Structure 1
């Protein structure tokens, strides 16, 4: 009891909420309320008898999924293609993100920081589907355009995250090496990079999980993989084959999420 009272006396008083934070919170709540008020959301249409019956008939068309060995073999090839697109795109983006994250963190001056951050903002502001639609004109149909689209968008995202990680890294270790005569490049590789590597790997794995889902969708515009199979069978109203493709997508995403979780656990240990 005495220790608890002593701890309460040691703890500092709770900080007071500033008026600007209160105004920001009120503004966000008002924005959400205005969004619901202005959008023509017809929630009751989802629960009418006609809507329920149409949904039941639509879902019934997916049963049973197509399980012929020949078709499953095609799904396996498309799954590997989607997996390869996401992995290669993420790897390219991670390497380029480290290279451009250095000047974006301010290590080469303010001009280089603003210029590289502007490039990264442009790359990450354009969605993968838009990149794929543009690159399909230059690279043609297939997974190559999808891989480049994933790499460009992820490059912008990871480059910005890596720059923030380098910028927020404690400078004491690198400064100690610099004071003792170490080259800036050596100080980066022996101090900054080891300190930031767990965070960099966590960001990379998280973006890989996102790219698995994005790669499965990029096939809709002709970038190969499971998405292209899904678009093909849905366009022909072959719902049973489309159900098998959707199940393969769900299983692949689940496996990658589990693998990413295990890798993050290994890093934290």
Structure 2
């Protein structure tokens, strides 16, 4: 008989588990929320609103003098070149490392844990630390930013590329292997076409992140918009800061437009062909090659300086200064407190970002 007729109610078998998970989440998140110090009350304080309003008023009107716009255009191109060159170096690292870290290289499975350890080191060291290392070699300028982005983003790209390739349907690659194709051929014709859209989207997203990171590294002397913004903020020129922010948002919009165009091109049904991707990929590679050549030409980096004796000694002495680690009880307590605060800030910030992103994504959802 129906449950309503017998007076009984059906219970969700997972209700108790969900309730326990919710309670555990609250128990963990509440102290993190207290540690992070996040509160909405300061946003509605009248004194704070006046201070914020006065600060924002300094940005108006944006600086539009011809001399400053010339500097701004040059810094924007330099930022774009740093991000592009850094991503090129990251791809050179990511492509072989992602292959070794994924299940594609099954005959060399012993390299998998070693490769993933290398990726953890590359991702674990922030790009700002790498930038400080390379600034000792090249001095102030874009070279340090390019190398810092290449190492950090190489680890990020390789990890995600490996996960994307492992999530594809293995049947086409296995069929190619069974018919006598090599591992590389199975990867190019069996796995890569399935993941092309996702790989492209993530790569362009990381390029957008590299643009933002290159701006931040400009504050430590890596050039581009960041260095120009640092100078404007130190001189309290709000109008120049506003113009720099507008230029930066234009670069981010450009990256978003490029991502949309690439995804649309990959979604278009291809014509019959012998190549795995076709003329669209050839056009993308050609445009990318031109942009890459222009980036390295604009930056004019002397790579030979990286392998000079003075450079190696300088980097070695800088890295040697990190050893031996301070293991005193007082310092370890400070490190533990810093780890807890960092974890709290990241978790609470990620939750707030997820909620804001969900609200912003709902209007675009179909």
TM-score range, shorter chain: 0.7 to 0.9
- Map of 1:21-32 to 2, 5 A cutoff? 23-32=20-29
After superposition, give the CA deviation of every residue in 1:150-170 in whole Å (9 maximum; x if it has no partner): 111111111001111222222
Secondary structure of 1:141 counterpart? coil
TM-score between the two structures when normalised by the length of structure 1: 0.85
> Secondary structure in 1 aligned to 2:63?
coil
CA distance in 2, matches of 1:42, 1:22: 26
Matched, 1:258 2:257: yes
| Aligned match of 1:191 | 190
Counterpart in the other structure of 2:278: none
TM value normalised by structure 2: 0.64
Structure 2 portions without partners, runs of 5+: 1-11, 269-366
Distance 1:58 1:18 in 2: 49
* 2:54 is equivalent to residue 57 of structure 1: yes
Q: Which residue is 1:100 aligned to?
A: 97
State the match for 1:268 in structure 2: 267
Change (3 A) 1:148 1:20: farther
Partner of 1:35: 32
Show the counterpart of 1:7: none
- Relative to structure 1, is the Cα distance of residues 229 and 36 closer, same or farther in structure 2, using a 3 angstrom cutoff? same
User: Contact (CA 8 Å) 2:93, 2:155: kept in 1 or not?
Assistant: no
Deviation of 1:38 (Å): 4.0
Tell me, yes or no, if the aligned pair for 1:136 and 1:145 is still in contact at 8 Å.
yes
**8 Å Cα contact 2:164-2:195 kept in structure 1:** yes
Pick one of 60, 63, 66 that aligns with 2:63: 66
Q: Secondary structure at the match of 1:170?
A: coil
Shift of 1:41: 4.4
Equivalent residue, structure 2, for 1:5? none
Between the two proteins, the alignment pairs up a number of residues equal to 255
Q: CA–CA distance in 1 between the matches of 2:179 and 2:38?
A: 65
Change (3 A) 1:49 1:168: closer
The reply to whether residue 203 of structure 1 matches residue 202 of structure 2 is: yes
Question: Do 1:141 and 1:223's aligned partners in 2 also have CA atoms closer than 8 Å?
Answer: yes
Q: Give ranges in structure 1 of 5+ residues lacking alignment.
A: 1-14
Deviation at 1:54, TM superposition (A): 2.2
Post-superposition Cα deviations, 1:32-66, rounded to whole Å, max 9, x if no partner, equal 22222344446544443432222222222222221
**Cα pair distance change 1:25/1:268, threshold 3 Å:** farther
Q: 1:45 to 1:188 in 2, by over 3 A?
A: closer
CA distance in 2 between partners of 1:112 and 1:209 (Å): 31
What aligned pairs does 1:1-269 form with structure 2 within 5 A after superposition?
A: 17=14, 23-41=20-38, 43-106=40-103, 107=105, 108-269=107-268
Does the 8 Å contact 1:82/1:212 carry over to 2?
yes
Q: CA deviation at 1:195?
A: 2.6
Per the TM alignment, residue 20 of structure 1 is displaced from its structure 2 partner at its CA by 6.3
Q: Give the deviation of 1:112 after TM superposition.
A: 0.6
2-structure distance, mates of 1:165, 1:43: 38
Inter-partner Cα distance in structure 2 for 1:246 and 1:267? 32
CA distance in 2, matches of 1:257, 1:85: 18
Cα RMSD for the two superposed structures: 2.2
